[in-house]
Structure 1
Amino acid sequence: MIMRPGQQLLLPANPFFIWGSLLLALIVNMLPLGRTPWIPDIVAVALVFWSVHQPQRVGIGVAFFFGLCMDVHQASLLGQHALSYTALSFFAITIHRRLLWFSVPSQAVQVLPLFAAAHAIELALRMLSGSAFPGLNILLAPLLEAVLWPVISVILLAPQRRAPDPDENRPL
């Protein structure tokens, strides 16, 4: 793949780091913060990030598994988060080559519709199962997830940006 000018060459991602970050995101989502609809879904952000940067390792099956974990944890309709995360991962993998050509703030704007679509799928399934409408503050969650995108990008790409063997004579 041709790189943009000035883009840093990254080291390969460690599979243990990928799975550790996904499990940490799942643990953060499982914190007992209450059921407020505007809280961003950290698992969704991490899944989109790794689906964009490592689509060979994190794909639709992983998204389905983490969706089932979230469904069981929240005692919600079984498959609600699984369908949402699966669609989110599919669309992230679909646009991953194009998305990597943009800067990180532009990527946040590009993934905002993905997060909005995932929340729309969850809301539609919740409403079809007979739940009450959570209110208009549900619109804040995709916005907060898009705002978190640059932060997550910096944190999760940091281990790949380090030099393999730091040496003052080696330019890479």
Structure 2
Amino acid sequence: MIMPRGTGQLLLPAKPWFIALTLLMALLLDMLPVGPQPAAPSALAVVLVFWNVHQARRIGVGWAFFLGLLMDVHHGAILGQHALAYSGLAFLAVTLHRRLLWFGVWQQALQVLPLFVAAHVVQVSVRLMAGGMSPSPWMLLAPVFEALLWPLAWVLLLAPQRRAPERDEHRPL
């Protein structure tokens, strides 16, 4: 099998408990009461896209929908606003996951930027169709910040998979 250019080593499989822990931590981070921040990036969206790209069989649209419903209930938003946006985000990430892995981390960040933009467009569209107020123009920066968080997520979430399965001083892996 030909390895993608962006990867220099084979990765260990991701542990299911680690995937669940990172999703829970991102959910809790998004639920922190920091007040209205229109340009605040969604850590849950970044982690969802990351795991849908790297572990497409374990994390899918169903988990994105469930986590979106939790976000809707927590924020008191229109029920389904985040769920629809996260489901679409997960679907697009799963659709692009094979192609995306062939690029370096910064090219990946540029390619996931339209996914984050689409998720925010869905959220704003649902809010406006329900008669909500139009969002602040600062909200246009949120997808950019989410794309800029992609390399950080790439480093942090792949770190446990890069370690050697068995430490041995005679093998360089």
Q: TM-score range by the shorter chain?
A: over 0.9
Query: Match for 1:161: what amino acid?
Result: R
* 1:132-147 superposed matches below 5 A: 132-147=133-148
Amino acid at match of 1:126: R
Deviation string 1:37-77 (CA, Å, 9 cap, x unpaired) is 11001100000000000001000000000000000000000
The question of 1:161 aligning with 2:162 is answered yes
How far off its partner does 1:165 sit? 1.1
Deviation at 1:118, TM superposition (A): 0.2
Amino acid at match of 1:91: L
The corresponding residue for 1:112 is 113
Q: Equivalent residue for 2:99? A: 98
Aligned-partner SS, 1:32 = coil
CA distance in 1, matches of 2:4, 2:64: 29
Which string of whole-angstrom CA distances, capped at 9 and with x for unpartnered residues, describes residues 108-145 of structure 1?
A: 00000000000000000011111111221000000000
C-alpha root-mean-square deviation of aligned residues, in Å?
A: 1.0
The offset of 1:7, in angstroms, is 1.8
Name the CA distance, whole Å, in 1 between partners of 2:144 and 2:29: 18
Give unpaired runs (5+ residues) of structure 2: none
Could you tell me which residue of structure 1 aligns to residue 26 of structure 2? 25
Q: Aligned partners of 1:56 and 1:19: how far apart in 2?
A: 14
Superposed, 1:69-80 pairs within 5 Å as 69-80=70-81
Counterpart code for 2:96: I
Tell me the residue number matched to 1:35.
Answer: 36
| Letter of the 1:96 counterpart | H
* TM-score for the superposition, normalised by structure 2: 0.97
For 2:3, the equivalent position in structure 1 comes to 3
- Structure 1 segments of 4 or more deviating over 6 A? none
> Do the aligned partners of 2:4 and 2:103 also contact (CA within 8 Å) in 1?
no
Identity %: 58
Letter in 1 for 2:71: M
Distance in 1 (alpha carbons) for counterparts of 2:98 and 2:146: 21
How many residues end up aligned between the 2 structures? 172
